[in-house]
Amino acid sequence: MFLKFPILIFKTLGKMQVEPEYNWNIILRSSLPVSAVLAWVFFTDIRMNLKWFLLVLGLITASLTVYFQDKKKQNVFTAVCIVLLISLLIHALKRLGIF
């Protein structure tokens, strides 16, 4: 009884398929320009409401450009994460006084 469980696990792991590769060319081509613009926005001294509004607009822009070029969900999610991480990193560095 106990020996059948590990064998069953290994059989199901053998049947699992690996996710398709990411299309880094499309992801970086669409997310890096948007990230650069949002990094500049978060570096300037404009109102916070406008910064967060522009962040939402940038996230929508990055997701739509990736989606129309490649309809895979993992590529869209990765592009949005890159834009969000760079924007929040610049915001945190500015608040800490490093920039």
Domain range holding 34? 23-96
pLDDT at residue 72, rounded to an integer: 84
Burial class (CB in 10 A: 0-12, 13-18, 19+), 3: exposed
Q: Is residue 44 part of a domain?
A: yes
User: What is the number of structural domains in the chain?
Assistant: 1
pLDDT at residue 20, rounded to an integer: 64
pLDDT at residue 22, rounded to an integer: 85
Q: Is residue 14 part of a domain?
A: no
Structural tokens at position 17: 């398929």
Q: Is residue 89 part of a domain?
A: yes
Structural tokens at position 98: 């490093």
pLDDT at residue 12, rounded to an integer: 56
Q: Is residue 8 part of a domain?
A: no
Span 22-72, pLDDT tens digits: 889 999 999 999 999 999 999 998 999 999 999 999 999 999 999 999 888
pLDDT at residue 78, rounded to an integer: 93
Helices of type H across the chain:
4-15, 24-43, 48-69, 73-96
Q: Is residue 38 part of a domain?
A: yes
Q: Is residue 1 part of a domain?
A: no
How far is residue 33's CA from residue 87's CA, in Å, rounded to a whole number?
12
Q: Is residue 80 part of a domain?
A: yes
pLDDT at residue 67, rounded to an integer: 94
Q: Is residue 6 part of a domain?
A: no
Label residues 50-88 b or e (16+ Cβ within 10 Å = b): ebeebbeebbebbbebbbebbebeebbebbbebbbebbe
